[in-house]
Amino acid sequence: MNLNNRVLPAAAFCALLGVISLPAQAQTTGKPLMAEDVFKNVQALRGIPVNQFMETMGFFSAALGYNCTNCHGNDVLGNWEKYADETPVKRTARRMILVVNAINKTQFGGREAVTCYTCHRSSPSPKTIPSLVEQYTEPPADDPNEVEITARAPKIPTADDILNRYIDAIGGAQKVAALTSYTGTGRYDGFDSYHGKVPVDLYAKVTGEHSIVTHTQNGDSVTVTNGKTAWIMGPDKPMSVLELVPGGDLDGVKLDAALAFPGTLKKTLTDIKTGFPATLIDDRPVSVIQGMIGGSKVKLYFDKETGLLTRMYRLSHTVIGSVPVQIDYSDYHEVAGVKIPFQWKNTWTDGQSSYIFEAMTPNVAIDAAKFARPVPPAKPVVKPVQ
Ligand code: HEC
Ligand code: HEC
């Protein structure tokens, strides 16, 4: 049973429709904004950055098996401002936020022991009666994303061994160190391209600068960092350019930049460790390491046979729970003697997208402007939703 498949594309679809009308604050000020600075009717989730606020909406959708309109009503389709309207379901959801906070505070010492997902499990109606069917059928295969470090797991290979083996597998430390920049071109598909294939450009430097530009039908969508600050810009976003404040999204952008040059991983991740029980991805045994980037926990999965990275799984912490993000890597090709994945499949609570690169050019000079704050188009081009 996978209710997520049923609901998530709808959640993403709903977010996309926000392009048609942006809030007045769409003009950016250059300073990170809190949810209540941008949205009109924020009562429970105040004091959190806009991007984290949007992550909580993805979390709600995933936790209840809902899309945006189930809570916000159909009027939001095509009108971003309508999200501020009160609806009975929205009021229930807000009350539930208070209930969950109170349970955690009074019963679990403030620990995030209970979230919406604890009860809802991707359904609007939590169950009260144990299922006999579930009790007597084979449980689904273990989810590799859920493996945790245990004392009983073998101590060898160490996290260092796994990372060293990865560097060897992609070409060896010398070649890895000699690759200092690359650009890539390929095709992207996701909810913001209506799942059609649109061109994507990648720019990456070993200094931590990283940029991905997808040329969607409605305009460019950009995720970029100059190594310190990061911005997202896109026609489907509530604001034209959003500077990411410290938190899950910023950690994610920095992690992508580090993964582009695996030689930098050991210094980018902190608290790197291993000790996971045996687990599989697509029936292949994988070695798992865990680390932290900023405040986000990251797990990296390496194919035991090839040593190559096959999955990144990251938890973005929000005030209502942790939002999972997964990227699966495949189709490795040599770029200046270093194996780089040409296919990435991103999966998160708001949808799935894929990147298929056709060409990568190593060690090229890249204009610093590619890593600077993106400049929004003078007039957003908005095509009607098909
Ligand atoms: C389970 C119900 C639920 C779902 C599903 C949900 N939201 Fe919300 N949304 C809320 C609640 C509750 C608030 C008010 C939060 C508060 O008061 O702090 C809110 C507020 C908002 C606001 C702020 C509006 C304003 O101007 O005050 C936006 C924007 C928003 N949601 C977008 C979305 C999007 C986009 C989705 C789908 C990805 C979504 N929501 C899914 C419950 C939900
Ligand atoms: C302790 C268990 C529990 C937790 C935790 C919980 N809920 Fe609920 N929720 C319920 C129950 C029980 C109902 C009532 C379902 C019914 O009437 O069938 C409900 C109903 C709802 C509904 C109404 C659904 C509808 O369409 O009528 C919404 C919306 C909702 N919850 C949102 C949330 C959100 C958002 C969170 C996290 C902040 C959350 N809940 C956490 C138990 C929980």
For the cut 90, the answer to whether the pLDDT of residue 1 exceeds it is no
For the cut 90, the answer to whether the pLDDT of residue 241 exceeds it is no
For the cut 60, the answer to whether the pLDDT of residue 9 exceeds it is no
Q: With bands split at pLDDT 50, 70 and 90, how would you rate the model's confidence at 8?
A: very low
For the cut 90, the answer to whether the pLDDT of residue 139 exceeds it is no
pLDDT of residue 383: 52
In whole angstroms, give the CA distance from residue 105 to residue 108.
Answer: 6
Ligand 1, atom 24, residue with closest C-alpha: 84
pLDDT of residue 332: 98
CB 125 less than 6 A from any atom of ligand 2 = yes
CB 320 less than 6 A from any atom of ligand 2 = yes
For the cut 90, the answer to whether the pLDDT of residue 14 exceeds it is no
Upstream peptide bond of 380 is cis (omega within 30 degrees of 0):
no
- CA–centroid distance, 305 to ligand 2, in Å, is 44
- CA–centroid distance, 41 to ligand 1, in Å, is 9
What percentage of the chain has pLDDT greater than the value 70?
Answer: 89
Mean pLDDT rounded to a whole number for the chain: 89
9-13: average pLDDT: 39
169-189: average pLDDT: 98
What's the angle, vertex CA 90, arms to CA 86 and CA 95, rounded to 5? Answer: 115
Ligand 1, atom 27, residue with closest C-alpha: 41
Nearest Cα neighbor of 4 from 352, 260, 311 is 352
CB 91 less than 6 A from any atom of ligand 2 = no
- CA–centroid distance, 94 to ligand 1, in Å, is 9
For the cut 70, the answer to whether the pLDDT of residue 18 exceeds it is no
pLDDT of residue 380: 54
Q: With bands split at pLDDT 50, 70 and 90, how would you rate the model's confidence at 17?
A: very low
Locate 364 and state its tokens: 């090229």
Ligand 2, atom 38, residue with closest C-alpha: 97
Burial of 138 (0-12, 13-18, 19+ CB in 10 A): exposed
238-258: average pLDDT: 90
pLDDT of residue 382: 54
CB 128 less than 6 A from any atom of ligand 2 = no
pLDDT of residue 24: 39
Q: With bands split at pLDDT 50, 70 and 90, how would you rate the model's confidence at 352?
A: very high
340-348: average pLDDT: 96
Place of tokens 């997208």: 353
Ligand at shortest distance from the CA of 114: 2
pLDDT of residue 235: 81
For the cut 50, the answer to whether the pLDDT of residue 129 exceeds it is yes
Higher pLDDT, 376 or 306: 306
Per-residue pLDDT tens over the stretch 72-123: 999 998 788 999 999 999 999 999 999 999 999 999 999 999 999 999 999 9
For the cut 80, the answer to whether the pLDDT of residue 11 exceeds it is no
Ligand at shortest distance from the CA of 17: 1
φ, ψ for residue 42, nearest 5 deg: -100, 120
Nearest Cα neighbor of 320 from 97, 104, 34, 92 is 97
Ligand at shortest distance from the CA of 115: 2
pLDDT of residue 136: 93
